[in-house]
Amino acid sequence: VLTSSLTQHHSCDTHQGVYPNIIHVMYIEILQLSYVCLILLVFTGSFHVGDYGTLLKRFCEGEQQCYLRLMEDSLRPFVPAYHGVVQRDEQDYNMMDNLLTHFNTPAIMDCKMGTRTYLEEELVIARERPQPRKDMYEKMVAVDPEAPTVQERAQQAVLKTRYMQWRETLSSTTTLGFRIEGFRKADEECHTNFKRTKSREQVIEALDNFVDSNTTILVSGTFSEPRLKQLRQVLEASDFFKSHEVVGSSLLFVHDWTGSTGVWMIDFGKTAALPSHLMLDHRTPWEEGNREDGYLWGLDNLIDILSNMLPLT
Ligand SMILES: Nc1ncnc2c1ncn2[C@@H]1O[C@H](COP(=O)(O)OP(=O)(O)OP(=O)(O)O)[C@@H](O)[C@H]1O
Ligand SMILES: O=P(O)(O)O[C@@H]1[C@H](O)[C@H](O)[C@@H](OP(=O)(O)O)[C@H](OP(=O)(O)O)[C@H]1O
């Protein structure tokens, strides 16, 4: 079972080994509106713009199953609408709403949620069939030359799970249950230098930069502390959420100069359905076997941080 479901997740590797080490920047043109908006996406070559305000993401069966269930779940308003599978140049894509369509030169931020960024089954496979990776070793030493162990240095390679755990403890994933992956403000370059953004203070500084110190954005509208509290309530009651290990999924925050704002859950490539006897609360600390992912604990912390950033009334 483990092997077959891992195979399924491997087929979700949207990077497909084409540009394994490099963060690519992709400009997407939204042609539905009267202007052409160039939007920066972190990575990957796995997206295309679809017709009528849609986005095509390289097909992943696990992600498709999640979207199909999410369209029937109370979480539906918090995820991009899903429109099925389409083919382009013999490649299948999941078609979903492009969340940026109705924004005007938006600022976007991707926060990866949860305390764990790899699936339990990846850990099992890493033990049974270890495949140390040179690209991850190189990414590791580029950030901290002292990080690899003696053995890793000798191999010039690290296991993916070890790399992911190192990334978690280096950033706020372990300490706060979420991390800022990157953001782009209107007409600015993409900021992705958050690998060491770990403390509350560092996170607040980055969030403040993202909203240009305009904390009124956090008070009302669809990207705000009250909206995140609403999302939390819906998550706590959602059948989908209870029954899935949600790993590597992000919250996408968007705002623009007209005052439009929004927040959505994206990226279900590593979200796995649980066996029927298991249910998660997404707050209990992870121990191998319990499948907990720390998603709600991370959202609690994020809400708390945003609350503390609110202007005093
Ligand atoms: N529906 C959407 N509408 C608009 N932008 C989106 C949408 N889905 C994803 N994006 C953009 O694309 C980026 C990557 O999306 P996603 O995380 O789903 O891809 P991925 O290939 O699984 O990425 P990675 O594995 O690197 O985390 C997001 O940070 C966001 O900027
Ligand atoms: O952010 P970094 O430091 O560049 O590291 C990447 C990041 O953690 C991605 O989440 C992960 O993809 P998945 O979540 O899809 O596993 C990717 O693995 P990959 O190289 O195997 O795609 C890592 O390389």
The structure's pTM equals 0.89
User: Range with the lowest mean pLDDT among 8-12, 53-57, 128-132, 187-191?
Assistant: 8-12
What does the alpha-carbon distance between residue 125 and residue 103 come to, in Å, rounded to a whole number? 42
The whole domain housing 151 covers 16-309
Would 6 be classed as within a structural domain? no
pLDDT tens digits, one per residue of 280-306:
999 999 999 999 999 999 999 999 999
Would 116 be classed as within a structural domain? yes
Mutate to test the pocket of ligand 1, among 29, 95, 252, 265 (most ligand atoms within 8 A of CB): 252
Predicted pLDDT at 292? 98
Helix axes 2-10, 61-70, angle to 10 degrees: 90
Would 4 be classed as within a structural domain? no
Would 3 be classed as within a structural domain? no
Which is it for the CA torsion 39, 100, 211, 178, positive or negative? negative
pLDDT tens digits, one per residue of 88-126:
989 999 999 999 999 999 999 999 999 999 999 999 999
What does the alpha-carbon distance between residue 50 and residue 43 come to, in Å, rounded to a whole number? 17
Quick check: CB of 266 below 6 Å from ligand 1? yes
Residue 48 vs residue 223, higher pLDDT: 48
Query: Residue 310 pLDDT > 90, yes or no?
Result: no
Would 48 be classed as within a structural domain? yes
Token pair 């999941």: residue:
94
Would 5 be classed as within a structural domain? no
Predicted confidence band of residue 36 (pLDDT cuts 50, 70, 90): very low
Closest approach atom of ligand 2 to CA 167? 3
Beta bridge partners of 133: 158
For the domain that residue 157 is a member of, what is the CATH number?
3.30.470.160
Residue nearest to atom 9 of ligand 2 (CA): 248
Structurally, how many domains does the chain consist of?
Answer: 1
Query: Residue 132 pLDDT > 50, yes or no?
Result: yes
Which ligand lies nearest to the CA atom of residue 18 in the structure?
Answer: 2
pLDDT tens digits, one per residue of 191-249:
999 999 999 999 999 999 999 888 778 776 666 778 899 999 999 999 999 999 999 99
Predicted pLDDT at 206? 96
Determine what percent of the chain is predicted with pLDDT higher than 70: 84
Would 9 be classed as within a structural domain? no
Quick check: CB of 271 below 6 Å from ligand 1? no
Would 181 be classed as within a structural domain? yes
